[in-house]
Amino acid sequence: MFRAMRRHKQQLTDQEARAVLERGKAGVLAVLGDDGYPYTVPLNYSYRNGAIYFHCALTGHKIDAIEACDKVSFCVIDKDDVVPEEFTSYYKSVVVFGRAHIVEDEEEKMASLIDLGMRYNPDRAAADAEAAKGYARLHMVRIDIEHITGKQAKELMRG
């Protein structure tokens, strides 16, 4: 169903790709937008229990697109070091394909919201307070991963 990577020697292992998701703080979500146009949007996220979580407004382009078609792609760039003298960059990135769902379970919604908050402020009391403040005004969305692939520059393979 999903294509094999053409440059498979540069492919990250599943464990390496998931480590990129754990380290990352921002990624780009791709959905099927209005009139069949792709819609991509950068967003903050957390990776927990093998899934990707992000928050968004109760209404808008993202939610409309997800409700119309739950198939999404999500990309995280872990490394992008430009090397001018080589006319290239030393990169490492991960692309996820999966299904996005609005989190309906209240415990999962609160836990994922707190987890997201703690990625940016490790003070648990502050994260709890912020989550409680925003809880009713947002959706938490979970991407259930169906396929994950990561790739790195060949120069990083040597080191």
pLDDT for the residue 50? 95
pLDDT for the residue 158? 60
Give the Cα separation of 27 and 77 in Å (integer): 7
pLDDT for the residue 2? 85
pLDDT for the residue 154? 85
> What is the pLDDT tens value at each position of the chain, 159 positions in all?
887 778 788 889 999 999 999 999 999 999 999 999 999 999 999 999 999 999 999 999 999 999 999 999 999 999 988 999 989 999 999 999 999 999 999 999 999 999 999 998 898 998 888 888 888 899 999 999 999 999 988 888 765
Domains, the chain, ordered by start: 8-109+138-150 (2.30.110.10)
Exposed e or buried b per residue across 97-133, where buried means at least 16 C-beta atoms within 10 angstroms of its C-beta: bbebeebeeeebbbbbbbbbbbeeeeeeeebeebbee
